[in-house]
Amino acid sequence: MTETVRLSLADARTLSLQALARAGLSPEHCEALADLVMAGQIDECHSHGLYRVLSCVDAIRKGKVDTKAVPEILDSAPGIVRIDAKFGFSPLAFRLGLPLLQEKARTQGVAALAINNCFHFSALWPEVERLAAAGLAGLAMTPSHSWVAPAGGTKPVFGTNPIAFSWPRPGPFPFVFDFATSASARGEIELHRRAGKPIPEGWAIDAEGASTTDAEAAMAGAMLTFGGHKGSALSAMVELMAGPLIGDLTSRESQVFDAGAGVTPCHGELLLAFDPNLLSGGRAIESAERAEALFDAIIGQGARLPSQRRYAARERSLANGSVEIPKALHDDLVALLG
């Protein structure tokens, strides 16, 4: 069994902040990153919780990230916000661009936020949840590094390319899904490797194209898309929409930019925000009721909504005032302070 350490929420946040600050990250970036990894840990999304501090510090130490980057907002069209993250991490750019995205979505009905030149390591649900909290539906996507083979192929082309969607609901818990278009996130394979555990069949093939359950061999080979050709097509869409469409890198190009450093990917992210009232011709109340009927039809037969596990974890973590992480991760984080 994995040995674990329980940390109060305050101690976990302080540990993240101190590790990032010690690596030289500016206070604004430290705050934005710590909030995000804490959100992941509180929701028990272990692959994008405190574990991510390790890869962020690694990217900083390898001199890739501009630790003091000040994102520049470009208000380029009535429905478009563009942000140049200036080769810093993405969360601060998102934080700065969010108010203008929301304002434009409310006046235009639909608005897009394109974040360019950002090092990206995070889950997307915290971002689309912010849109839902403002009464907007949200869609977000981003490429990564070319780790994933297209359906029918054996060589990596795509990133793990997550897509996240949110729909506002009464109360604090919107309808949200957020998943990699690969069978698993890369971070999940890394966690299996750290824990010395095999990965499930169907996640990856080795360098010779044979199915593997060995995490190391999977990382040296290729990950697989979810749902065969369907996940493959969605992954290609993410490459195009959050790559060339917004003038930024595909996962293959991000890998070239990385130049063998092996740090978290650098590319763009696309977020879309939709105002349910404007798009329904002022019938937001009726639309919300019909959406609730849809959710009832799902839950009513015993199926669960995406994010239900996450929200239950959030309630548990907040009630306990603490989070639990593997001792090995805690040791690695503490070592970053030395």
Restricting to residues 221-280, name those near ligand PYC by CB under 6 A: 264-265
CB 127 within 8 A of CB 90: no
Q: How far apart are CA 113 and CA 127, in angstroms?
A: 11
Given 31, 127, 188, 269, the catalytic residue: 188
* Residue 186 touches ligand PYC, criterion: CB under 6 A: yes
Closest CB to ligand PYC among residues 114, 191: 191
Which residues is 165 bridged to in the sheet? Answer: 139, 177
Given 16, 31, 46, 48, the catalytic residue: 48
* Residue 180 touches ligand PYC, criterion: CB under 6 A: yes
Among ligand PYC, ligand NDP, none, what binds residue 104 when CB lies within 5 to 8 Å by partner kind?
A: none
- Phi, psi (deg, nearest 5) at residue 98: -55, -50
Among the listed residues 306, 314, 324, 328, the single contact to ligand NDP using CB under 6 A:
306
CB 307 within 8 A of CB 173: yes
29 carries an active-site annotation: no
Q: Which stretch binds ligand NDP (CB under 6 A): 5-13, 14-22, 99-107, 306-314?
A: 306-314
- CA dist 78 → 83, 94, 281, 301 (Å): 15, 18, 20, 43
Q: How far apart are CA 208 and CA 128, in angstroms?
A: 38
Among ligand PYC, ligand NDP, none, what binds residue 142 when CB lies within 5 to 8 Å by partner kind?
A: ligand NDP
CB 264 within 8 A of CB 120: yes
- Longest Cα separation, the chain: 58
Which residues is 324 bridged to in the sheet? Answer: 6
Restricting to residues 130-149, name those near ligand NDP by CB under 6 A: 142, 144
Q: Which stretch binds ligand NDP (CB under 6 A): 5-13, 75-83, 184-192, 289-297?
A: 184-192
Closest residue to ligand NDP, based on beta-carbon distance: 123
Stretch 95-124: interaction string toward ligand NDP, x if CB under 6 A: -------------------------x-xxx
Q: By C-alpha distance, which of 257, 272, 10, 250 is closest to 137?
A: 272
Given 47, 144, 146, 251, the catalytic residue: 47
Instruction: Give the pair of three-digit tokens for residue 43.
Output: 């929701």
| Residue for token pair 């971070």 | 187
> 188: which residues sit within 8 A by CB, 6+ positions away?
47, 199, 203
120 carries an active-site annotation: no
Output the smallest distance, CB 128 to ligand PYC, in A.
16
* Residue 310 touches ligand NDP, criterion: CB under 6 A: yes
- Phi, psi (deg, nearest 5) at residue 193: -60, -45
Restricting to residues 283-302, name those near ligand PYC by CB under 6 A: none
CB 255 within 8 A of CB 226: no
Which residues is 28 bridged to in the sheet? Answer: none
* Residue 232 touches ligand NDP, criterion: CB under 6 A: no
* Residue 144 touches ligand PYC, criterion: CB under 6 A: yes
Can you give the binding site for ligand PYC, defined by CB under 6 A? 47, 121, 144, 160, 180, 185-187, 264-265
Can you give the binding site for ligand NDP, defined by CB under 6 A? 45, 47-48, 120, 122-125, 142, 144, 160, 162, 164, 177-180, 184-185, 188, 304, 306-310
Query: Annotated active-site positions, please?
Result: 47-48, 188
